Structure 1
Amino acid sequence: MGSLHASRGQKIAKNKEFVHETAFRGQKIRNKEKFVHETASRGQNSGNKEKFVHETAYRGQKIRNKEKFVHETASRGQNSGNKEKFVHETAYRGQKIRNKEKFVHETASRGQNSGNKEKFVHETAYRGQKIRNKEKFVHETASRGQNSGNKEKFVHETAYRGQKIRNKEKFVHETASRGQRIGNKEKFVHETASRGQKIAKNKEFVHETASRGQKIGNKEKFVHEIASRGQNSGNKEEFVREIASRSQNSKNYEKTVLKYGFM
């Protein structure tokens, strides 16, 4: 499951800055606020008119970035030309990603290795690749070419199967899976329910995810833990998000590290 997509033609209405919007199956995304994350799937074109825009083109679409802090993603061998700082580049199916600016987000799919040389780098390795985080504030994602990011005053919203998520706190990341609704009552809380599991968050900056009935106990602030298929991720550093996907165990030893893994 891709955390950042609205599936089956659903549209996510964003009214705040740093909003991440995703339309799937021919939906058109309109960004009316700064720091908008747009994704177009199946040949749709995302018109970005604000700074901090994330554009994604699928199936041979070309992405033009005209603002700083642009997030570009190319799928199926497309090349994303990044010319501004805070650029997110993604290459799919064996493409090589070169990062020349700080705050670069790189994603490699199908066993590609992302070389991160700047702070705030987002790396993604798929299919048994090991991800090493050497900089603070690193966001890692493993997901068949899926993308993730934090947007509106650091709010990440995701709707799954037509569910709409409203974030009432700053820095809140909410994800609903299979119709579950997650209520976030603490700042910087990321909650995810999988297969009807509900996760109670009692501390600030905690991101917990339970998959297939697993419950994760977070004992550090800013910790994001995910157990997938019964795997347990032990987080011992603040701001660490660990994901064990398909028996792979990712251990992050840097503070303020976020990892995203999707099966």
Structure 2
Amino acid sequence: MRHVEKWRLALDMLDEQAEWGSPRLPVVADAGYGDCTRFRLGVEERGLDYVVALKAGTSAHPGEAEPVRPPRNGGRGRRPKPHYPKPASSLREIAMAAGRDAYQEVAWRQGTRKTKGNPSAAMTSKFAVFVVRPANRDIPRADDGTLPAKLLLVEWPDEANEPTDYWLSNLPADTPIDQLVDLAKIRWRIEHDYRELKTGLGLDHFEGRSWTGWNRHVTLVAIAQAFCTMVRLDPKQDAPA
């Protein structure tokens, strides 16, 4: 069996979902996928929106940056290709250059730890949105050398000395920051479900060696997790103690 990269497997899963007729919802992913240019391009080629995490060192140009076309040397020969006059910056540099005043408080869900200062247990932090042009040689450019503009969502908590998290999105430029934050933070639900599958329902307890046995084990665990989810979503059911 030949090796297949994780990002290719993820795109195959998106194709399979499309065949099932699943809703075409935005794709969310951690930096393991978000930093892969070919994965992001593949998602866009399928006509899907995304909000994916990136590492702070990922390079990009500010949204207002424009490429220039140098003149021909001596007026002869092929004219040089357009290029950006300044080197790309890291996402960290772009985020910090804006200063703390550019960040606003956004709440994305209700937590469980209530305090005197936060009686509703709202999960909040400081966020800002910037327009950037990710700089990677695999990204197709327009005829004038322009790189595609994307939205960069950055989280900079009050207690942190610098921004802590970065997300890139191809959603429209007028997308409300609350919506971007909700999509960026929805991965918490995925991590929660995976932890429940492993620790509560025994996903990692299988010790057999056959494909059939493993497939049956995973299927039963997935059904059990789906049942637990249905119980949680049923307003007639009392919350578990």
- TM-score (norm. length: structure 2): 0.29
The structure, 1 or 2, with the larger RCO (C-alpha pairs under 8 Å, 6+ apart) is 2
Give the greater-gyration-radius structure (CA).
Answer: 2
- Structure having the higher helix fraction is 2
